[in-house]
Structure 1
Amino acid sequence: MEKYARQAVTEGIKTPDDLLIAGDSELYRVLNLHYNRNNHIEVPQNFRFVVEQTLREFFRAIQGGKDTEQSWKKSIYKIISRMDDPVPEYFNHTTHHDPSYYDYYNIYSHNIEGRQQQSEGEAQTKAKRLNLRKKYHWI
């Protein structure tokens, strides 16, 4: 996202409103390919809008020189996190968990390096999050 925002600044775009993302744009295609490699899920209706708004936030920050500050992206992430949709029930279905879920569960449910053992519910929740991130390449 930062790369595309910097490119827009370099190309002389003056206002964030001039940045428009079409469904066939390179940025849209790259992001969809990254997060939805096999095109196995339907792209949410507001995905294009969120991509566009995120690009605009990066553009504003870069244009305003905020990218020289430490942790400059943090404020952008706070803004765009408000646009998050709830995780669809589809992802919570057990058939969509990969077998490594149980490996994560075992790691988090046992006492590691003397840390206090977590409750089973906490371990399961963390394991599910890690599994989703791994499976859908969020990490």
Structure 2
Amino acid sequence: MTEDQNTKCHAIIHTAAVAAGAGNLVPVPGTGVAADMVAMTAMTVSLASVFGGNIGEEAARGMAIAAIKGTMLKQPIKTLAKELSKLVPLLGQLIAPAISITLIEAAGWSIAQELAQKQKRYLPAQN
């Protein structure tokens, strides 16, 4: 990954994480998952463009789901805590967004690395 790509990825991933965190402010269990998916799908499409790709929404959603699954399987306690925390007034509105931000950040960098590897495989002359 070039320095320029890294800078663009930082901006895209951080923006998506903040958007997902904002969506997780709603104190209803389950709404955070929808906010996370929307943020992840948009983030994946944007990340693909950084690496010269152009993927559709369905492909982006598939990559987002795979990345979220991988992140959730690695951090099941955080995922469970995020949704259960919404049952606790006020405290849940602080915990759920914070956990969502960390999950989206981790999944975003996972996707960025995957896309960088694919670019390196298919376009070795540009790297």
TM-score > 0.5 by shorter chain: no
TM-score between the two structures when normalised by the length of structure 2: 0.34
Q: Point out which structure has higher relative CO (alpha carbons under 8 A, 6+ apart).
A: 2
Taking structure 1 as the reference length, the TM-score comes to 0.32
